[in-house]
Amino acid sequence: MHLKTGVSGVILAGGKNTRMGSEKALLKIGDRLIIDIISSALRPLTDEILIVSSNHDVYTRYCDRVVEDIASNCGPLGGIHAGLVRVVNRRVLVTACDMPFVSTALARLLIKEAAGFDILVPKYRGYLEPLFAVYNKTCIDAIEERLARGQNKISSLYHVLRVKYLEEDKMRAAEPQLEKVFFNLNTPSDLDKAQSIMQMKK
């Protein structure tokens, strides 16, 4: 692989989708699947895109590789771990598959601001957003230690690694519509709202 950006992309698509009732990444917003929208947003910034899922056949066309969790039933932290282990680059832009309005402009800022840190996490409306964030392969050992102890919360990493929290004002300068970027789908009513947002963008 000819590396250009030094960044890999990882999309987490291994959730149980219990509230939605179907696989969120395979729902359509407008005339495109959510997984296609997210993959297209990450593509200009990354050398490769991995999707973490056990559903290989469906996702292959939207990424370079589909990989499964190494540590099963560990939630998003297990997915992050699987991606970090398998990617070719040290820096990894991670996003969840239920954020249909991921911003290339904001992703570019996250990558830039992550230099020198193990993790770069956006902070929006007082809450951390660890599923649209940048992780380094230097996180792997700490993640494995926690998974081995059954500690599956991403936040358990923050006090043992070099973490940078990106504040809202800095993000808004790169991407004014943060409320869209951090909108995520959990229920059928969220899907209806996303369709309305998409119509407003046209």
pLDDT digits (tens, 9 = 90+) for 165-184: 999 999 999 999 999 999 99
Each residue's pLDDT tens digit, 107-141: 999 999 999 999 999 999 999 999 999 999 999 99
Which structure tokens are listed for 156?
Answer: 């358990």
Amino acid in position 10: V
CB 140 within 8 A of CB 127: no
* 142-170 mean pLDDT: 97
User: Which of 3.90.550.10, 3.30.2420.10, 3.30.420.40, 2.60.40.10 would CATH assign to domain 7-201?
Assistant: 3.90.550.10
- Return the SS3 of 196: helix
As a whole number of angstroms, the distance between CA 136 and CA 121 comes to 12
pLDDT of residue 197: 85
3-state SS assignment for residue 47: coil
| Each residue's pLDDT tens digit, 49-98 | 999 999 888 999 999 999 999 999 999 999 999 999 999 999 999 999 99
Instruction: Inform me whether the pLDDT recorded for 17 exceeds 70.
Output: no
* Confidence bin at 37 (pLDDT 50/70/90): very high
Question: Which pLDDT belongs to residue 134?
Answer: 98
Rounded Cα distance, 177 and 124, in Å? 12
pLDDT of residue 199: 76
Q: Which residue has the higher pLDDT, 160 or 202?
A: 160
- Report yes or no: 154 and 130 within 8 Å, Cβ to Cβ: yes
Q: What mean pLDDT value characterizes the chain?
A: 93
Residue that wins the pLDDT comparison between 186 and 93: 93
